[in-house]
Amino acid sequence: MSQPIKLYRHPLSGHAHRVELMLSLLQLPYELVSVDLANGEHKSAEFLAINAFGQVPVIDDNGTFISDSNAILVYLAKRYGGDSWQPQDALAEARIQRWLSVAAGQVAYGPAAARLITVFGASFNAEEVIARAHTLLKVMDAELAHSPFLAGAKPSIADVSNYSYIAHAPEGNVSLEPYPNVRAWLQRIEALPGFVPMQRTVIGLQAA
């Protein structure tokens, strides 16, 4: 009998939450293993043995270790989700890949970076990353005016990859008020069977 998938994570990591959300949406049994980032556990020899980059998340699927949140989403969708979360059609896959790239690019250097300043004390230029976040959100809002989910009519790993940091953008002082289509998209994801939220921090615009 197979064991639950182990997810090595930090509760405030949006990258780790992507994977937890995917595991829950797929209704897979999983075990959360907290990694103490503050005390450098992710740089220990034991952790570096499972991810040489020293980052969360990492999953252990019965002895198969996979790191990088987007890579994990692809693996879980293909192994356990059939065609439901990552269709095999070439155009559908391309649309999904586009948004995985956005999650690793514009999201990481926009709303995620803004949140790193307030939650973890990162030394980014707040004005710059907040402006970058709003540039992204304007594009997202315009595209979501024509589609219920990022890559089409059905939810996919594109949505899972982008959800966490967009939902928590206000923690980094990035307001979602000007973006009704983005807010409606967040609500659609939160209504999916198996949705699990990420731990919120009362900081930034959330402090009110």
Q: What is the CATH number of the domain that holds 170?
A: 1.20.1050.10
Question: In this predicted structure, what is the pLDDT of residue 207?
Answer: 64
Question: In this predicted structure, what is the pLDDT of residue 143?
Answer: 97
- CATH, residue 45: 3.40.30.10
Residue 85 included in any domain: no
- Indicate the residue among 46, 80, 114 that finishes a domain: 80
- Indicate the residue among 58, 80, 102 that finishes a domain: 80
The pTM of the whole model exceeds 0.75: yes
Strand pairing report for 5-9 and 30-34: parallel
Please provide the DSSP assignment of 48-107 as one string: HTT-TT--S-EEEETTEEEESHHHHHHHHHHHHSTTSSS--SHHHHHHHHHHHHHIIIII
Angle at 59 between CA 21 and CA 200, to 5 degrees: 40
167: closest CA among 17, 8, 36? Answer: 17
Cα 125 from chain centroid (whole Å) = 22
Residues 119 and 184 in one domain: yes
Residues 43 and 125 in one domain: no
Range of the domain at 102: 90-207
Question: In this predicted structure, what is the pLDDT of residue 2?
Answer: 74
Question: In this predicted structure, what is the pLDDT of residue 1?
Answer: 46
